[in-house]
Amino acid sequence: MSLETDGTAVDWPGRVWKAGTAQAQAGQKVSGLIDYGSSADGSTLASPVCLLIGRQAGPCLYVQAAVHGNEINGIEVLRRVLEELDPVALSGAIIAVPVVNPSGFVNDARRNQFDREDMNRVWPGKEGGQASQQSTLALYREAVSQADYIVDLHTAGAGTLLHVVYGQGDPASRALAEAFGVGVLLEEPVSEDWKQARFAGKLRNLAASKGVPSITPELGATSTFEEPSILAGVRGLLNVLKHLKMLEGELELPARQVTLIGSHLDQVRARQGGLFVAQVRPGEMVAEGQVLGFTYSVRDFQPVEIFHAPYAAMILSVTARPITNTGSGVVSLGLIER
């Protein structure tokens, strides 16, 4: 059952699907806009939306990209998948929003440029709230609320393993993450840090709290197209459609998947500034206390800080930005599921 439906059976060929200005019925592929206001010069603020309605009945999959405006690999993933898919071969419906955060997108920025908010911390939005809250509310009402399953496409940054995040204690979301088919899964538990970081306002966590299986694939670096990451995303999204029986075919899965327990908050952070020199790589196994790298001073080139692994883990990412200030994350790691 989707986020807002009551489970009542609907005649599939006669159903009219709507999201913003887009309307479609079985066997159709259309695009439109979801309007959520205007800027100071009167320009309309809106996100593009695509509807692809299968000829046969099935679940509704909602897919979005660029909730962080500079995370663009997911946009290209959606373009390729939606161009490839024929509604005749599809069972169910796909609602896709390629650019959730247009102001961040046009400015190559993570945050909404009208209120400097992280749009993936304020779902489901708020009537009369800040710009990010009003836009997420419009997207939630017009599109997200129809979903039976959700895939929220992100990029994690250069120097990060491709991985898919899902919530701990949610077997349906885990199955979706496994089906997406990258080598690393990140199972995210709820913690005090999680709450302080406002992770309850992430779309994935909101949906999962309402019983809608949801995942967050993290596909490569920001502000650029990375072909290997895009190909992994296309394969992953097609895998999800096959897993949900929306598309026929065999899943293309890696020979091995590793599950890490943790979140993107699990970072080793600098106490002093300098230039960071890594001594580990993403995907490497490290022992507790193992040296991860060091920073040195640009004034005299002497070491400023040496970083050690706080526990035995796999390296999920190593910062691609050597310039390090107090509080900068240098290495992310995760506990391996036993």
Confidence of residue 1 (pLDDT cuts 50, 70, 90): very low
Domain range list for the chain: 17-261, 267-336
Confidence of residue 2 (pLDDT cuts 50, 70, 90): low
What pLDDT digit, counting tens, does each position of 41-73 carry? 999 999 999 999 999 999 999 999 999 999 999
Burial of 47-68, coded b for 16+ CB within 10 Å and e otherwise, reads bbbbbbbbbbebbbbbbbbbbb
Mean pLDDT across the chain? 96
Question: What's phi and psi for 94, nearest 5 deg?
Answer: -115, 125
Q: Look up the CATH architecture of domain 267-336.
A: Beta Barrel (2.40)
Question: What's phi and psi for 29, nearest 5 deg?
Answer: -130, 120
Q: What is the pLDDT of residue 6?
A: 47
Confidence of residue 234 (pLDDT cuts 50, 70, 90): very high
What pLDDT digit, counting tens, does each position of 115-137 carry? 999 999 999 999 999 999 999 99
pTM higher than 0.75: yes
Are 217 and 182 a contacting pair, CB within 8 Å?
A: yes
Q: What's the whole-number mean pLDDT along residues 251-267? A: 97
**In the predicted structure, residue 9 carries a pLDDT above the cut 90:** no
What pLDDT digit, counting tens, does each position of 65-113 carry? 999 999 999 999 999 999 999 999 999 999 999 999 999 999 999 999 9
In a 13 Å sphere around the CA of 316, the CA atoms on its Cβ side amount to: 30
> Domain 17-261 maps to which CATH number in 2.40.50.140, 3.30.70.100, 3.40.50.620, 3.40.630.10?
3.40.630.10
